[in-house]
């Protein structure tokens, strides 16, 4: 099994790029069906979602607008439990259909923060699309989590937009730490 090293950690392959591409294509098809007569605002959560969002947008045929929000709640391999917003949401979400695109949902702390900000603008609908979901790490249910690429164990992962101390985002596959983080 292929392993890589980033700084002081070893990682092994979890999801190959082919698997990611196939699942992204299926999510894109579902979004095309669900939003066929609407024009959603698709908001990527930076930095992690950029690769998934770019590939997902290539699969979406419906009219849509694109925006980004950047938030952070990580320190190394663990969430800090508090969220700091680096740059924020568009201010024109009222009566619009919103799709938030995440790289990963684990505790849900960051996502709850973003959803609170989005809902305060009274959009018509809000759905979350996440490439990865760690159900065992989730602290409370997130009803808006509608589109999930892969459910994974509560392990630290890197690659395809996800990083370890800023490194590894450029990897085309997703790797998991060989020793729990």
Catalytic residues: 106
Rounded Cα distance, 145 and 139, in Å: 14
Tell me if 69 sits within 8 A of 43, measured CB to CB.
yes
Given the structure tokens 């740059």, which residue do they identify? Answer: 87
Task: Show the CA angle centred on residue 97, arms to residues 117 and 47, nearest 5°.
Answer: 55
Q: How far apart are CA 161 and CA 158, in angstroms?
A: 8
CB neighbours of residue 118 within 10 Å: 22
Q: What angle do CA 147, 109, 151 make, to 5 degrees?
A: 35
């Amino acid at each position: 099994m292929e392993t890589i090293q980033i700084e002081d950690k070893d990682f092994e392959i979890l999801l190959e790029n082919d698997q990611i591409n196939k699942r992204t294509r299926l999510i894109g098809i579902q979004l095309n069906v669900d939003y066929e007569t609407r024009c959603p605002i698709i908001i990527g959560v930076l930095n992690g979602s950029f690769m998934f969002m770019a590939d997902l947008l290539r699969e979406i045929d419906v009219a849509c607008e694109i925006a980004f929000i950047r938030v952070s709640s990580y320190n190394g391999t663990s969430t800090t439990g508090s969220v700091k917003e680096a740059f924020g949401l568009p201010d024109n979400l009222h009566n619009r259909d919103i799709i938030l695109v995440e790289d990963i949902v684990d505790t849900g702390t960051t996502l709850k923060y973003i959803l609170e900000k989005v809902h305060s603008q009274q959009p018509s609908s809000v759905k979350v699309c996440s490439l990865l979901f760690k159900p065992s790490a989730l602290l409370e249910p997130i009803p808006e989590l509608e589109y999930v690429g892969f459910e994974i164990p509560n392990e630290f992962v890197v690659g395809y937009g996800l990083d370890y101390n800023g490194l590894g985002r450029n990897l085309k596959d997703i790797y998991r730490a060989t020793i729990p983080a």
